[in-house]
Copies of this chain bind each other. A is one copy, B any other.
């Protein structure tokens, strides 16, 4: 065979593959919109992939799904290990499904890239829920940065909503800044606590209390009930420290028992009330728009800065300037200017 014929054949094969992939992309989108969880899973796998060609396809799929999203609510749930997040989510999820909702459970856990999925990884932790057709559980994506993990979860939310899941529960263990990330992608942010030996308020990460739209004291059952009631009082006066949210909401403190199932309906009614009032005054949509525009800015700014720090010239010079700053040989401002002068971003890309 001649060289030119070989090339033509290769080109044809490449075109065929592209067409096939395009058809496949459309099929996945159609599948998602038809609530096919197999298609949803495949799309999320593409979102989580680090292969550039997958990233492009994932972007197309997510974009096609943007306008198809079910109108529902995204609830972030945080709490230290041991607060009973899995049992709470199982109880809340089963309750919601009994009420006719379709529930997707996602997670942001930047530590899971090390531990290979420390939360939600083991579906046996939500045994009953994972067997329910109207529930979709996806473990935390692996990733080398919180930014990467966050992007994947954000995009997965859109896919789940397009597949008709109207309640999205996003779990986080609160490693690094992961609560801030989850807070920035949900409509309602819930802090789950358990009553301890009087030290309820110790060990709360800085900033968490201010982000919470509600505090729920879990495991308020049996011999724990009294301690839970006490903790409820302590949290109530603690939350009194903060001004109401921008939309006028005052975060309530509630008790529940995921094991007994008590208080779960009340927690949901409270979230429902929140959503209704936010829809009424327009703050629901405003918050989502703000979150999306914030995400846009964040993506841009993190790309600009990470390109800078990855630049070979900058990498060579940066440590030397840091040392000079520490040794008081140069002001931070002049060191910054010198480094910015050195920076010549690649124009050919």
Interface residues of chain A, those whose CB is within 8 Å of chain B, are: 59, 62-63, 66-67, 69, 151, 155, 158, 201-204, 206-207, 209-210, 237-238, 240-243, 289, 292-293, 295-296, 299-301, 303-305, 308, 321-322, 325-326, 328-337, 339-340, 344-345, 347
Residue of B nearest to A60 (CB): B334
Choose one: B237, B303, B332, B339; the contact of A340 (CB below 8 Å).
B303
**Bound Cα distance A295, B335 (Å):** 10
Q: Which secondary structure characterizes the binding site on chain A? A: helix
Residues of B within 8 A of A151 (CB): 333
Question: Could you list 18 A-B pairs, sorted by A, with CB under 8 Å?
Answer: A63-B331, A67-B328, A158-B331, A202-B243, A204-B241, A204-B242, A292-B326, A293-B332, A295-B332, A295-B333, A296-B335, A299-B336, A300-B305, A301-B304, A303-B336, A303-B340, A305-B305, A345-B345
State whether A325 and B206 are in contact (beta carbons under 8 Å apart), knowing that A301-B305, A331-B158 are contacts in the complex: no
Nearest CB in chain B: distance from A238 CB, A:
5
Nearest CB in chain B: distance from A53 CB, A:
15
B325:A296 contact, CB within 8 angstroms: yes
**Bound Cα distance A191, B338 (Å):** 36
**Bound Cα distance A340, B334 (Å):** 27
Residue of B nearest to A240 (CB): B201
B243:A332 contact, CB within 8 angstroms: no
Residue of B nearest to A235 (CB): B241
**Bound Cα distance A153, B46 (Å):** 49
A66:B331 contact, CB within 8 angstroms: yes
**Bound Cα distance A331, B322 (Å):** 37
**Bound Cα distance A321, B292 (Å):** 11
A336:B300 contact, CB within 8 angstroms: yes
B241:A332 contact, CB within 8 angstroms: no
**Bound Cα distance A71, B202 (Å):** 35
Residue of B nearest to A349 (CB): B341
Nearest CB in chain B: distance from A180 CB, A:
12
**Bound Cα distance A328, B155 (Å):** 13
Nearest CB in chain B: distance from A61 CB, A:
10
**Bound Cα distance A336, B329 (Å):** 38
Nearest CB in chain B: distance from A311 CB, A:
11
Residue of B nearest to A335 (CB): B296
Interface centre among A67, A241, A345 (most CB of B within 10 A): A241
